[in-house]
Structure 1
Amino acid sequence: MAGEGDALPAARWSGEADGLGAGLKARLRIRDAEGRTLHDAALEGDSRSHQGALAALLEWHARQGDGGRIAAVGHRIVHGGANFVAPVRIDDAVLAELAALEPLAPLHQPHNLAGVRAAMKAFDGVPQVACFDTAFHSTQPDVNRRFALPRALHDAGVRRYGFHGLSYESIVTQFAQLAPQLAQQRVIVAHLGNGASMCGMAEGRSVATTMSFSPLDGLTMGTRCGHLDAAVVLYLMRSQGMSADDVEKLLFRESGLLGLSGISSDMRELEASAVPAAAEAITHFIEQVVQHMGSLAAALRGVDAIVFTGGIGENAAALRERILLQCGWLGLRVDAQANRAGKAQLTAPGSAVSAWVLRTDEEAVIARHTARLLLSRAG
């Protein structure tokens, strides 16, 4: 798990296949360790499936002619439920158990498992390892994992799980290298992106986090509503005649920044827009981050450092500054010049709480866990 202080492995290549699915504009992009583009091409026809995209990647890999072989495949799995609290080698039984969790993460889990199935077919006999976004939060105290529901429901799995754990583990590892003493204190990490959450940590371990039973809860996100009174769902179904599928689509795909602005789920587009609703959506997002910052500080009984990461957290300097200025009550003193210049440390000397920005590397965490699992089995 996190907090062991060892460096993350360096990637030789990295990339992504996005837009997969019928009727979508799918592309495969591959970069080298310095971020230079090595391959950028549209995926057409059958290549728009997970299996097709993997075949296109393997074709590119074969053309490199370096004799490298695939020793193992590590997978990010969003939801591990109550049973999977550490990386595990995937077999048919594990795959079936993970498929049963798809209703808890409908935007992610089906795609995660489609990638697993494609890899299992492409690499017959090669170990497949599942690494879970929920596992990092298994260290939380029981009081922070329970809803105020009958205990039988908690025992049946209705509990706070938390997500973005691979990202948080990446930040813990990097922060331990950058500021080892501070990393062992009370740290709030804000993973801000299209999916957004925050986590309060002590000694590199999760104490409390904003997402809970599913990746829908907590902060305002790109298309997800974040925290919502559960009675709203009852109202929508009873008084507005919405079905469960209708509500799921509304809350997961049509709300958040997109729903508030009526324009886009992309923070960059909202920041560039002159439409008042775009500014209102950004303000709503910032306010939720600030409020949850206070909640996590209370859970930790104080805070020593704040770290921003994720697509928005890493790149939106003006938004970071607005958040930090509104957290001045914590004793924060913002170094505006350092923030705008993209420096790692964002606060001025004398600030009671230090603030940082670090680039998350979930893939390196997955690679490390996969290698460790294989080595432990070999030994």
Structure 2
Amino acid sequence: MRSQVAIIGAGPSGLLLAHLLQQAGVDAVVLEHRDREYVEGRVRAGVLEQIAVDLMDRIGLGARMHREGLVHEGTNIAHEGEMFRIDMKALTGGSTVMVYGQQEVMKDLFDAAEDRQLKIVFGAEDVQLHDVTGPPYVTWRSGGEAHRLDCDFIAGCDGYHGVSRGSIPEDVLRHYERVYPFGWLGVLAEVPPAAHELIYCNHERGFALASMRSQTRSRYYIQCRLDDRIEDWSDERFWDELCVRLGDKAAAGVVRGPSFEKSIAPLRSFVAEPMRYGKLFLAGDAAHIVPPTGAKGLNLAVSDVIFLSEAIEEFYRERSTAGIDHYSARALARVWKAERFSWWFTGLTHRFPDTGAIERRLQVAELDYIRESKAAQTVLAENYVGLPI
């Protein structure tokens, strides 16, 4: 089998890239270890920057998003029982974000992939990348048989635990990582959200977030210990703790109900450089992870595949390697700014094991400064809605 591009992984970055390449007339095959149900069902982010909204429109898949998604013009920060709003639209000259879950994005991408006959191989086991400096090829097994795909380029879109990043020699690849000493306990419940916009809460007992997936489905998080067990958190205990952290004003809007999904997610900041080696390109979680505080994970995958699709299209259209040669530097420039914002926002809103009296007072002072300063609010708003690409 032969294709111009082999895409490893059918998550957001892999499928978005596949749709973009098809639109550009570039042939691609997507290899995915899991099945569609597993990939589509993973509970992930729900806030899309304008670049992600624009990309869905660009590939012709924005109709349901605009119909069912929730446009947010601002966000809220609560601490010590008080709450203030960041008017993102006013502060950024009109930019907003869209609440539309990654599961919904994946459903749209998969449905369209079937209609457009994108080539996706599910159940690809023992995927291996060969000769990534060229000419490359990929092997795997499925249905008890061995398969080989020859190609011009390989896009590693297979996440943090995938095989692509490991195909770059250790003496070439540099890792930057911070593992946070806490996690997020999250629940999904079929109840209306506490407010029509997100509420980020800094409380002496830990961080909390009131979010949503729709007008009738809420997504809530609280900071928890890494050794906490889901079994120890009954719904009643979760709701009680959430309301304490949100404070009376924000908690007044919380509607309690049974959770239908509950999980604990660790937090980390991670970047791998470079994002290109020979004919292999990394995109999305294969190259970088951000803590979810700033809602940047899916949105960074979007900018990666925009840059990568432009570079590959330029190569086939103009026989120019300029975009390919600059892909890593171009993508990483945006990655590191998002990493910085997510790291800063996490530090501002969470309790760390070494948070003492002075660290707590400094957090409160910074929150007061943001509440009182239009300049500080503008910096937060510009980063939250997404820096330009």
TM-score of Structure 1 vs Structure 2, range by shorter chain? under 0.3
Q: Which has the higher helix share?
A: 1
Q: Which has the higher strand share?
A: 2
TM-score (norm 1): 0.24
The answer to which structure, 1 or 2, has the higher relative contact order (CA under 8 A, 6+ apart) is 2
